[in-house]
Amino acid sequence: MLMIKQVQPDAEVHGIDMDAAILDIAKNKAAQTGETLFWQQGSVTALPYPDASFDRVFASLMLHHLVRADRQQALREAFRVLKPGGELHVMDFGKPHDRFMWMISLVIRWFEEIYDNVIGLLPVFIAQAGFQSIEETAYFRTAFGTVALYRARKAG
């Protein structure tokens, strides 16, 4: 969240997490830079914001921690809080793009709820939540598997 604020200093940036300790760490990091961000404890499956209140929603390496039903609900919530024409940006584990990443995926797909991502269902879930123009904008090879960046739009 802090990087978003630093790149877009005029943006009003909100962050949410269920864990109060994580929020305290985030608040302290932001305070050290002097940046103003708005933090709230809550769940991504029931965002505490009104409908159509944001231009962009970001999810960074978070969705793979959720069970399938919660991941799908989180994406529906992102859709709900986005203004028409708003964008969803997701960075998370994705489908392997080469043999080496596929081999790594044979191990990591059994951790947490990563399996759906590894078999390429994340863009499907994004579409089912109502988003359009879904695209994988980049992917990276990591020691833990492929990390993909997705962008999608709420029709406006």
For the chain, domain boundaries: 1-43, 57-156
**Is residue 154 within 8 Å of 84, Cβ to Cβ?**
yes
Residues 6+ apart with CB under 8 A from 24: none
**Is residue 141 within 8 Å of 100, Cβ to Cβ?**
yes
**pLDDT tens digits for 30-54?**
889 888 899 999 999 999 999 999 9
Q: DSSP code of 139?
A: E
Per-residue confidence (pLDDT) for residue 54, from 0 to 100: 98
**Does residue 106 carry a pLDDT above 70?**
no
Which CATH number applies to 57-156? 3.40.50.150
Q: pLDDT class for 10, splitting at 50, 70, 90?
A: very high
Residue 33: Cβ-neighbour burial (10 angstroms; 0-12, 13-18, 19+): exposed
Q: How far apart are CA 92 and CA 123, in angstroms?
A: 11
Proportion of the chain above pLDDT 90, given as a percent: 67
Q: How far apart are CA 47 and CA 24, in angstroms?
A: 19
